[in-house]
Amino acid sequence: MDDEALLERARRGDREAFAAIVTRHQDELYTMALRILGTPADAADVVQETFLRAYVRVPVLRGQTIRAWLFRVAVNCCHDIQRRSVRRPADPLEDERGNIVDLPDPALGPEATALSRERLMAVRQALLSIQPEFRAVVVLRDVNDLSYEEMSAALRIPIGTVKSRLNRGRTMLAKALRGTAAAPGVAEGNA
Amino acid sequence: MSPRRHVDDLFSAAYEDDLSPIDEARFHAHLQSCAPCAAAFAEFSASVEALRELPRAPMPRPVHLPSTPPVAERTARGRISLGWLNAGLLRRFPATAAAAAIAAVLVIIAVTHGTSSPTAGVATFPSLSSPASKNAPQPQAATASCTQQIVRVPVTSLPADFSAQALTTSPSQPGLRLVLATSNLEVTAGKSVDVYAQLVAPISSYEAPGAATGAGSSAAFRPCVSIEVGGSSLALVPKSSGGQAPGSGVAENPGLEEASPAPASAMLSFDIPAGLASGTELHLIATVPAGSAGYGSPALTATLTLTIR
């Protein structure tokens, strides 16, 4: 059942239909928020807040655009958190319960797993070093695979601005990754 | 001028294979003659690939949703009918639409002045019956079913005999507590029921949005409270809620009003219509739209289900 059909049921008071929308989108929203904020607890809060806002907006949401709408709300929630003065340090791989949220493939073996873990951390740290407005664009495109149109709707900026920010953000990422475990030479030399 | 500057603005489009034919020819020709640019593009592409390899992270905890349905049925119907009025009737039958609009305004005026309802406090379309709805800007996430303004009230203790309670908190702002309570979940048709409804927010988050929440005093607000009669479109509004008159708005909190001179408290009273069958469920709902307790505060809902004896 697509989002519009679920929304139609939700508009008639079907709570489970809305829960199905949550199930469908919660992981991608959480992943986006985690990559933008770097802290699992904040990212989970963003997802919770996003769906609460969606819940009371069910009458005016449309299935064709709900994904972009959810991303837009989630990005705004991320910006709200980023504006707060007190920031918790990013815990590289664990969520608030101590679970590892980015698991390297265990089939790679101990050395490769350690390298993979190091690469993960390098990429995540490099991403967090990018200015927020560029980081959001890079994450939406390269983590969540949103189209230019979806990104434009989610961020409320023209597609041309999306493209220029994406180019700048990716360039910043490449510079931030130089000399790290995720730099091209390191990755290829140890693959 | 470094040769790299000639094409680095095309890296992203080149990676996406989104270059125009002219740019594509220029890009590849440049890379063949400019080793730094070729290396930079390889580095650029590898970085994007490394980012794309990051695994998807599963949401680590369940998303909590209000226990009430996503939207009251009457709200959806209202919006559908308005849409039909705007898009269809208004365009094709302007005179009829104008007459319908005038009739609707008369009905609203009659209902809001309480002269046409034989059962005070009962409205089938409470979103139209609220005096607040016509003069209060609504926060972004305000629900259409919220019919009363969120007013600041003195912090009121929960009455000792109000044992039926519902508490809703926010994971993002743990200091926020929405409490809804009454003395008994079984009520009698034809009699009134007293309800306690209060949102408590740390004073720092209310008066200094974004400030760190610390120990200190709290601000209390009375949420929007209504009772929906199960199996019907009836919704009951409180008969004595106080503080309904428009007051001076708070700039950073649209839709939020300080309490007026009229007494306002966390205590409300509802008249339960006579004639409701035994066993009928009444859904007591307290809601606060996002932004009611300071910038960025989440929407909260607390519910209790009452039953007619």
Q: Do A184 and B144 touch (CB under 8 A)?
A: no
Model's pTM, two decimal places?
0.51
Residues A153/A154/A158/A164 CA torsion (nearest 10 deg)? -140
Q: Which one of B5, B51, B67, B68 makes the best mutation probe of the A interface by having the most chain A beta carbons within 10 Å?
A: B51
Report how far residue B31's alpha carbon sits from residue B238's, in angstroms, rounded to the nearest whole number: 73
CATH fold for domain A3-83: Rna Polymerase Sigma Factor; Chain: A (1.10.1740)
Per-residue pLDDT tens digits for B15-59:
999 999 999 999 999 999 999 999 999 999 999 999 998 888 899
pLDDT band at B221 (very low <50, low <70, confident <90, very high): confident
CATH 1.10.1740.10 location in chain A: 3-83
- B231–A contact, CB cutoff 8 A: no
pLDDT band at B1 (very low <50, low <70, confident <90, very high): very low
Choose among B44, B54, B61: nearest Cβ to A44: B61
Per-residue pLDDT tens digits for B256-277:
333 334 457 888 998 898 888 8
Between chain A and chain B, the number of residue pairs with CB atoms below 8 A apart is 170
Residue A158 pLDDT > 50? yes
Cβ atoms of residues B108 and B130 within 8 Å:
no
Residue B214 amino acid letter: G
Backbone angles phi, psi at B85, to 5 degrees: -65, -45
Residue B189 amino acid letter: A
Segment B97-110 mean pLDDT: 45
Report how far residue B158's alpha carbon sits from residue B177's, in angstroms, rounded to the nearest whole number: 13
Cβ atoms of residues A184 and B42 within 8 Å:
yes
CA-closest candidate to residue A166, choices A147, A153, A179, A184: A147
pLDDT at B107: 42
Backbone angles phi, psi at B300, to 5 degrees: -135, 150
Cβ atoms of residues B253 and B100 within 8 Å:
no
- C-alpha distance from B71 to closest chain A C-alpha (Å): 6
Q: Do B79 and A59 touch (CB under 8 A)?
A: yes
List the single range of A117-131, B134-148, B167-181, B233-247 with lowest mean pLDDT. B134-148
Report how far residue B73's alpha carbon sits from residue B308's, in angstroms, rounded to the nearest whole number: 22
Q: Chain B: residue nearest A18 by CA? A: B70
Give SS3 for B219: strand
Segment A105-113 mean pLDDT: 57
Backbone angles phi, psi at B222, to 5 degrees: -95, 125
Residue B133 pLDDT > 70? no
User: Of A172-186, B200-214, B273-287, which has the strongest mean pLDDT?
Assistant: B273-287
Residue A174 pLDDT > 80? yes
Q: Which one of A14, A18, A22, A48 makes the best mutation probe of the B interface by having the most chain B beta carbons within 10 Å?
A: A48
The ipTM is 0.82
pLDDT at A182: 67
CA-closest candidate to residue B265, choices B181, B198, B214, B208: B198
Please list, in sequence order, all residues whose beta carbon lies within 8 angstroms of the beta carbon of residue B257, skipping any fewer than 6 positions away: B136, B149, B150, B151, B152, B243, B246, B247, B248, B249, B250
Q: How far is CA A3 from the centre of its chain?
A: 20
Q: Do A184 and B298 touch (CB under 8 A)?
A: no
CA-closest candidate to residue B227, choices B284, B164, B163, B147: B284
**How is B5-69 classified by DSSP, letter by letter?**
GGTGGGHHHHHTT---HHHHHHHHHHHHH-HHHHHHHHHHHHHHHHHHTSPPPPPSSPPP--SS-
**How many Cα atoms sit within 13 Å of B184 on the Cβ side?**
8
Q: Chain A: residue nearest B213 by CA? A: A86
Residues of B in contact with A18 (CB under 8 A): 65, 70
Tokens of B270: 């509802």
Residues of A in contact with B72 (CB under 8 A): 13
CATH 1.10.10.10 location in chain A: 106-190
Q: Do B296 and A28 touch (CB under 8 A)?
A: no
CATH code of the domain made up of A106-190: 1.10.10.10
Residues of B in contact with A184 (CB under 8 A): 42-43, 46-47
Residue A128 amino acid letter: L
List the single range of B47-56, B91-100, B135-144, B297-306 with lowest mean pLDDT. B135-144
CA-closest candidate to residue A135, choices A36, A30, A44: A36
Residue B87 pLDDT > 80? no
Q: Cα dist. B46→A111, A165, B36, B125 in Å? A: 21, 18, 15, 59
Per-residue pLDDT tens digits for A40-73:
988 999 999 999 989 888 888 876 678 888 999 9
Residue A41 amino acid letter: A
**How many Cα atoms sit within 13 Å of B75 on the Cβ side?**
22
- C-alpha distance from B14 to closest chain A C-alpha (Å): 10
Tokens of B234: 């009836």
pLDDT band at A181 (very low <50, low <70, confident <90, very high): low
Cβ atoms of residues A61 and A7 within 8 Å:
yes
Report how far residue A94's alpha carbon sits from residue A98's, in angstroms, rounded to the nearest whole number: 5
